[in-house]
Structure 1
Amino acid sequence: MDNQEVYRQSGDQQQHVISVGEWVLYLFLFSLPLINIIMLCIWAFGNEPNPTKSNFGKAGLIWIAIGIVIYLILMFTVFSFFSTAFNEMNQMQTM
């Protein structure tokens, strides 16, 4: 049986089951910068008939947002630490 023709029944709708080959392609595309965000946005907010892709797109965007927030907090913390350290070094040199 060809994976391209396999469908799963869900209520009245037939949904295409995503094959392993398709997932390998999608994971490759998600490893490319900016293309991953574009693909996730298309899946999450586009007219994607497959709810699995839509949910994956939404979940991926949530994880990207969490990563950006953690990155910003980390960068702010590091910047504050070095800013304080340089200010203290300047104060010690002026004495």
Structure 2
Amino acid sequence: MAYGHFPEHPDDSVGGWMITLLLCWIPLVGFVYLLVLALSSASSPSKRNFARALFVWQIIGVVVTIIVLVVFGASIWAALESVRY
């Protein structure tokens, strides 16, 4: 690195990460914030990768939740139908 040359994306501070995590925990605000971080070229590469990884985990969580609801919903429906008759 040359003298007087500033890095394009300086290291993120602890406070910056604390705000990022706080905003991610708020349901609708967190989704929009992660969308902005993941698709924006202005955010730091570490936060962009974090947002993309968190989106992958959210997609996995939604798919697993749907599968569990379908499986248990079908079994509860079958149990209720057998009790009814």
TM-score (norm 1): 0.76
Q: Which runs of 5 or more structure 1 residues have no equivalent in the other structure?
A: 1-12
Describe the shift of the 1:81–1:72 C-alpha distance in structure 2 as closer, same or farther (beyond 3 A).
same
Tell me, yes or no, if structure 1 residue 27 matches structure 2 residue 13: no
Higher relative contact order (CA 8 A, sep 6+): 2
Larger C-alpha radius of gyration, 1 or 2? 1
CA distance, structure 1, for counterparts of residue 15 and residue 43 of structure 2: 19
Match of 2:62 in 1: 68
8 Å contact 1:48–1:54 — kept in the other structure? no
The aligned counterpart of 1:44 is 38
Identity of aligned residues (%): 27
Q: How many residues align?
A: 79
Cα deviation digits, residues 36-65 of structure 1 (max 9, x gap): 111111111122342111111110110110
Q: CA RMSD, aligned part only?
A: 1.3
CA deviations 1:3-56 (Å, max 9, x no partner) are xxxxxxxxxx53211000111111111111111111111111122342111111
User: What residue in structure 1 maps to residue 52 of structure 2?
Assistant: 58
Q: Which is strand-richer, 1 or 2?
A: 1
